[in-house]
Amino acid sequence: VMNYIQELPEGYRMVLNMYVFDGFSHNEIAEELGISVNTSKTQLLKARKKLKLRFHSVTEGYHI
């Protein structure tokens, strides 16, 4: 999982880490990174989407 996170674009990775692992709110992330709250939300959404697609491509064909 951590390898996939490291593959994300820097902005996506920073927002994801701050939100998921560090517990920052979007307002706090926006202030810390000098971006808008909407940019924070969008980057988190895109990071999650990329990770979901990555996991899907790795697990495709496997039945659990």
pLDDT for the residue 56? 83
Cβ atoms < 10 Å from Cβ of 31: 13
CA distances from 27 to 14, 23, 31, 44 (A): 14, 12, 6, 13
Strand ranges for 1-64 from DSSP E = none
Residue 62 has pLDDT above 70, yes or no: no
Contact 37, 30 (CB under 8 A): yes
Residue 29 is given by DSSP the state H
User: pLDDT (tens digit, 9 = 90+) per residue, 16-58?
Assistant: 999 999 999 999 999 999 999 999 999 999 999 999 998 887 7
Q: Can you read off the two tokens belonging to residue 38?
A: 């909407």
pLDDT for res 15? 98
